[in-house]
Structure 1
Amino acid sequence: MRERGRTRRLFGLGARAGGTLLRSRLGGEADWRALGEALFEGLSELKGPAMKLAQIMAQWDDLLPADLAEELARLQRQAQPMPWEGIRRSLVEQYGDLDARFSEIEQHPFASASMGQVHRAVTREGETLVLKVQYPGLAEILEGDLAQLRRIMRLGRWLKVPQVRLDALFEELAASLRGELDYHAEACALVRYRERYAHLHDLVIPEPLPDLSGPRVLAMRYVAGTPLRDMESAADAVRQRVAATLADWLTEELFTHGELHADPHAGNFAVDAEGRLVIYDLGAVIPVPDAHLKAMMQLLDATLARDPMAMDDALRQLGGRQGQGAPLALYRESAEAVVPLFEPGEQDFSDVRVHRRLRDLSPKVWAAMDRLQPPADVLLLSRTLNGHYWNLVRLGARLDMHGRTRPLLAWARG
């Protein structure tokens, strides 16, 4: 009965979204704000795959109507928490007598997300930690939700998103969600990243606590911090330090270790009292092969040279563009939008002129997606880097992207 109720709720939300999209397509007045409010209320209660998709879409600031994107972005910071009793049952399954282990567990979550929520706790020994608790029954309802989600995503065709793009996005989302259920894998990623980036003194990764963790509860030492989304009013020096740390870490992650943190929404990052970047969540880490990196840098090289034929060849190297008829005009326009970010000297990520170019370009890229045909893993990589780009925008970063990319471009040519 409960599963049928979820299906009805998801179907109802999909129908409402479809009606709004249809009115927009027919030239009518679409109330994107009202749709966003309905999706926020419904998805924050249902949690799971549909909420995760909405969070992902909200990261693409240049894709959705502004009012809809603003409402969906609330899912990253204001999602309704699951009632305490359901979370408490999961904790009792893990620990048995909670009073024997903890002197306090905060019933209101420290953070609430699509697949679980995080509660601060204090052990009997007086140590403060956080407990990431998977929503009860999530594994059982996941596949049913994914089936409904695939149906809802077909509405994306009304936004002129090709079916190949929708199918690839769905497969990416499904694989990501199944992986996020594995808290043992996330604990291993925390250990690996703490060891790997110990030399980056401005980067903090919480320590997992294996003795207090299990299949549906991940315990970590508590690290206080201001969420990245709330840093816009922080001192400029702090924001620039955090931006440089984020860029340094991403570069090393990709080009030294061949991995990438693939869930870049701002709620997964914070800044501690010392101005260091904190990474809270490592539930989604993807491998990035050297071949992909080289092809990506070759695409950037061709873009900076404003060479549309070389751009098309690089896209083929990535596994896209299987058909004929390269959209050369689109390549030229893409180059004009991207090149300013890589000119010599510091580039200001808060420059609205760059955002405007990228926003104007985005619907044209999506409309040509059936001709570009990027494979699913490239789409995931692109989405992730796009999310990190917008984190740099939120920080008002000023970075010498020209200097940062020169050695990487030389590596790709070698």
Structure 2
Amino acid sequence: MRQSGRTRRMLGLSARTGSTLLRSRIGGKADWQALGESLFEGLSELKGPAMKIAQVMSQWDDLLPPALAEELARLQKDAAPAPWAEIKVALEAELGDLDALFDEIEPEPFASASMGQVHRARTRDGRTLVLKVQYPGLDRVLEQDLVQVRRLLRLGRWLKVSQARLDALFDELADGLRRELDYRAEADALERYRRRYADHPDLVMPQPVKELSGPRVLAMEYLPGTPLRDLEGADDTLRQRVSRTLADWITEELFTHHELHADPHAGNFAVDEQGRLVVYDLGAVIAVPRERLAGLVALLGATLDGDPMAMDEAVRGLGGRQGEGAPLALYRESAEAVSPLFAPGEQDFGDVRVHRRLRELSPRVWGALDRLQPPAGMLLLARTLNGHYWNLVRLEGRLDMHSRSAQLLDAYAV
């Protein structure tokens, strides 16, 4: 699609989103499913940063209207692939003569996403690899797309989000998208994580093949596995093992290494025949400073104590409050909704009563955005933690979150 047509398409999607938000804001009937269908169809074709942001939004299952969340979630696994002819041109531009390097590259991708798609290949020396190929020309359209994304984010002013906060959110999104365009950084992250977890019995990442990689192509060893999203209904012992591995890994990343793999959608994870958790995509890794972790632990402690005033102090410390009038009743109800997951003993993330109650609170959260503001620099972290919460829900994990949280609260006690 030519850039002018792409811009017109994005403007149309922005206008439709804005009109739906406005109807909802003034008390009218908003057709969230129709909006979601339009966004899926348009963004699946456009790909790029706008689609990536829609994927980010889809992982806030408990904040979006259910019909909209369900449609946007399709972008995680049903995005239309780019034609093989375009992908082949991109591969040749990066690697040169493909016949000299590969016996075969499968034209049909086995995964397609917002910024690129993945093809299986066999090298001349017999290795089976996967090639993650960036969509051609994505670097050229990124900045133009970001102009439209900024316009779309301005709709947040209708929800009483300050312009300064919207600008900070945009900057965080834009910086993350620009970093994801350089696949050499992802190759470096893969090597770092493989060294870090080399002795972990239940965690594995693919080895990057740097001689067949570049800024827009990442070659990796092929690690087959069952996608995390396909484990619903699988053997309970396996699901509990994977749940523990996932929770332990997130905790170690955050509180030992102070960084986090920040793209939690279920398509980035699988389980191999040995029951190990396979992590495929390290295109988004963020640093998480200790002081930010301390703020989150303080909020968790105040929540588990059921102390609305302390919750407000912690939210202010994270930069997530402005104006007068702390929403103390909302804090109190949020604490009551979350606390059961942290009760002594194993708690069942598959218990729909917990996340149903969280979802029921979402209109109250939107209604309090004149006081509760998105903290600057927290978007990707919050999105990741929320995404993994839903990964644990899908796995129906049973975890002793009381013991886990007690250790963190003790470690960060003032």
TM-score w.r.t. length of structure 1: 0.95
SS in structure 1 at match of 2:119: strand
Deviation at 1:159, TM superposition (A): 5.5
Structure 1 window deviating more from structure 2 (392-401 vs 268-277): it is 268-277
Deviation at 1:227, TM superposition (A): 1.2
Give the partner amino acid of 2:393: V
Give the partner amino acid of 2:362: S
**CA 1:355–1:170 in structure 2 vs 1: closer, same or farther (change >3 Å)?**
same
SS in structure 2 at match of 1:19: helix
SS in structure 1 at match of 2:270: strand
Q: Structure 1 vs Structure 2: percent identity of aligned residues?
A: 72
Following the alignment from structure 1 to structure 2, what is the Cα–Cα distance between the partners of residues 227 and 344? 31
Structure 1 window deviating more from structure 2 (316-325 vs 172-181): it is 316-325
Matched with 2:226 is 226
Q: Is contact 2:103-2:122 (8 Å) kept? A: yes
Deviation at 1:149, TM superposition (A): 1.2
Matched with 2:65 is 65
**CA 1:179–1:242 in structure 2 vs 1: closer, same or farther (change >3 Å)?**
same
Matched with 1:143 is 143
SS in structure 1 at match of 2:355: helix
Deviation at 1:240, TM superposition (A): 0.6
1:194-343 map, 5 Å = 194-343=194-343
1:10-409 map, 5 Å = 10-158=10-158, 163=163, 165-409=165-409
Deviation at 1:21, TM superposition (A): 3.3
Query: Which consecutive unaligned segments of at least 5 residues does structure 1 have?
Result: none
Deviation at 1:66, TM superposition (A): 1.8
Following the alignment from structure 1 to structure 2, what is the Cα–Cα distance between the partners of residues 62 and 223? 32
Give the partner amino acid of 1:124: R
Deviation at 1:64, TM superposition (A): 2.1
Deviation at 1:161, TM superposition (A): 5.5
Deviations 1:161-211 (A, max 9, x none): 565554343222211101101111111110010111122211111110111
Q: Is contact 1:118-1:132 (8 Å) kept? A: yes
RMSD (Å) for aligned C-alpha atoms: 1.7
Following the alignment from structure 1 to structure 2, what is the Cα–Cα distance between the partners of residues 373 and 28? 24
Q: Is contact 1:162-1:369 (8 Å) kept? A: no
Q: Is contact 1:121-1:129 (8 Å) kept? A: yes
SS in structure 2 at match of 1:377: coil
Structure 1 window deviating more from structure 2 (161-170 vs 364-373): it is 161-170
Following the alignment from structure 2 to structure 1, what is the Cα–Cα distance between the partners of residues 324 and 249? 38
Give the partner amino acid of 2:303: T
Following the alignment from structure 2 to structure 1, what is the Cα–Cα distance between the partners of residues 90 and 32? 37
Structure 1 window deviating more from structure 2 (137-146 vs 65-74): it is 65-74
SS in structure 2 at match of 1:206: coil
Following the alignment from structure 1 to structure 2, what is the Cα–Cα distance between the partners of residues 121 and 243? 31
Following the alignment from structure 2 to structure 1, what is the Cα–Cα distance between the partners of residues 79 and 18? 23
Give the partner amino acid of 2:228: L
Following the alignment from structure 1 to structure 2, what is the Cα–Cα distance between the partners of residues 164 and 279? 35
Deviations 1:255-313 (A, max 9, x none): 00000111111111111122111111001111111111112111111111111222222
**CA 1:24–1:332 in structure 2 vs 1: closer, same or farther (change >3 Å)?**
closer
**CA 1:11–1:231 in structure 2 vs 1: closer, same or farther (change >3 Å)?**
same
Q: Is contact 2:202-2:245 (8 Å) kept? A: yes
Deviations 1:114-144 (A, max 9, x none): 1111111000111100011111111111011
Following the alignment from structure 1 to structure 2, what is the Cα–Cα distance between the partners of residues 31 and 316? 35
Deviation at 1:30, TM superposition (A): 3.4
Give the partner amino acid of 2:249: W
Following the alignment from structure 2 to structure 1, what is the Cα–Cα distance between the partners of residues 59 and 227? 16
Q: Is contact 2:319-2:376 (8 Å) kept? A: no
Following the alignment from structure 2 to structure 1, what is the Cα–Cα distance between the partners of residues 34 and 367? 26
Following the alignment from structure 2 to structure 1, what is the Cα–Cα distance between the partners of residues 232 and 210? 35
**CA 1:7–1:167 in structure 2 vs 1: closer, same or farther (change >3 Å)?**
same
Q: Is contact 2:101-2:123 (8 Å) kept? A: yes
Deviation at 1:339, TM superposition (A): 0.9
Deviation at 1:315, TM superposition (A): 2.1
Total equivalences in the alignment: 414
Deviation at 1:96, TM superposition (A): 1.4
SS in structure 1 at match of 2:133: strand
Q: Is contact 2:322-2:370 (8 Å) kept? A: no
**CA 1:230–1:266 in structure 2 vs 1: closer, same or farther (change >3 Å)?**
same
Deviation at 1:160, TM superposition (A): 6.0
Deviations 1:33-60 (A, max 9, x none): 2322221111111101110111111111
Query: Which consecutive unaligned segments of at least 5 residues does structure 2 have?
Result: none
Structure 1 window deviating more from structure 2 (225-234 vs 154-163): it is 154-163
Q: Is contact 2:160-2:369 (8 Å) kept? A: no
